[in-house]
Amino acid sequence: MAATLRARAAGVCARRLPSITALLFAVPLIEELASGVQSSGAPDIERSFGLSHTATAVVLFLVPGLVQLVLDPVWFWLAERFGRPWLVRGGLAIMAAAQLVAAVAPGPVTLTSALSVWGLAAGAANSLSELTLIDHRPDERARTLARWTLLSLLGDVAAPVVLGGLALIAPQAAWRVGFAIAGAMLAVWAVAVSLRAFPAAAVAAVDDEPPLWQAAREALRDRVLIGWLFGTALCSLLDEILIVFASLHVRDELGATATGQNAVVVAFIAGGAIGLVGLERLLARYGEHRLMIAAGLACGAAFAAWLAAPALWLSVVLMVPVGATAAPLYPLATAQAYARCPGRSSVVLVASHLFAPLVLALPWLLGWVADRAGTLCALALLAVQPIGLVVLALTTGDRDSRDSRTGDPP
């Protein structure tokens, strides 16, 4: 009788929950909100532990980033062996526990250890949730990625807002409370996802499929795939890297105060949200290659106009179209990469780690350029992203690659 009552109660709870698709789409929002605590709270964390700037970067970013870089691909092998649902649910639970440990960390060693574990678990929960949604509707890859990117963007925006509000309530412990709130949210989400069945992939697995690592090695012989993975790596340029160097540029060249710098960042994020919402609508009418070329050309023009802005107010205004045209490039490029391995999106994600060192090195390389030639020169190099993606779209348009909107060759 007790078992029957528990089963009925679980069934009632499950019926009241959102669909598994909605739950998985919310994962990037929560993940970005949680990761934003360590970014936005970095000054307070540094002050709490008496760290130097270098030590803060090592504790919050370098150590967790290196651990994730080395061990992240293991999750995809485990997912192939045991299935994605277990890894997503377990990843969310571990993320929750790690955030709660970070909230009560007595020192930097405990904090960086917790964040390293959190980063590994996030690689499982976040990446495998994305792959599940892509494989569930392979004919809508670009639309799925547009929604995913938009929700990630909303999480990025929410993190500093939440932490700023907490700073008003608990100035000395805002980052600890932020970690605790993120941990509680992740725990709730882990339970919710555990009560829902995962969607099946649209393309059934073949019995004689090669193992993941063998498939990844074979995929690396695909020059078109390598090209789009390189293009996806370039999409890190007109993102956080642009925000950092744009803030420095308007401060040094246009005399912007902190308020002016924030206005430029807000304009970029607002433009990105507009662009992603528009992309989802445009995908219902136009093919991905055509949209990639159009967005890339428009982004290059908008970025050049922004670089030439002589006044702060104009820089803020022109940053909106930069964000609106840059944001669609990532989902469009990533959709082209996934289209090369239909039904085995995890192969693409494993292969993408080939460019992980490049993504990590780009900020340092651009910083080196900025130190020697100025921020304007470093910013000009970011135009490689839209130009490179347009070239990729033009040179691969006649290859055997299926458009995920129509299923037809481009």
The CATH code that applies to domain 2-194 is 1.20.1250.20
What is the pTM (predicted TM-score) of this model? 0.80
Does residue 27 register a pLDDT over 80? yes
Report in angstroms the alpha-carbon separations of 327 from 49, 236, 362.
Answer: 36, 11, 19
- Amino acid occupying residue 108: P
Q: What is the pLDDT of residues 327-354, one digit of tens each?
A: 999 999 999 998 888 777 778 888 888 8
Superfamily for the 212-396 domain: MFS general substrate transporter like domains (1.20.1250.20)
Element (H, E) at 234: helix 223-234
Per the CB < 8 A criterion, the answer to whether 216 and 350 are in contact is yes
Residue 268 structure tokens: 């970029």
Give the number of other CB atoms < 10 A from CB of residue 122: 27
Q: Rounded CA gap, 94 and 128, in Å?
A: 15
Would the CATH topology of 2-194 be identical to that of 212-396?
A: yes
Q: What is the pLDDT of residues 31-81, one digit of tens each?
A: 988 888 887 788 788 888 988 877 887 888 888 888 887 887 777 778 777
Q: What is the pLDDT of residues 155-169, one digit of tens each?
A: 888 888 888 888 888
Q: Where are the domains of the chain?
A: 2-194, 212-396
- Amino acid occupying residue 339: A
Q: What is the pLDDT of residues 125-161, one digit of tens each?
A: 998 999 899 988 888 889 999 999 999 989 888 888 8
Residue 292 structure tokens: 């990639």
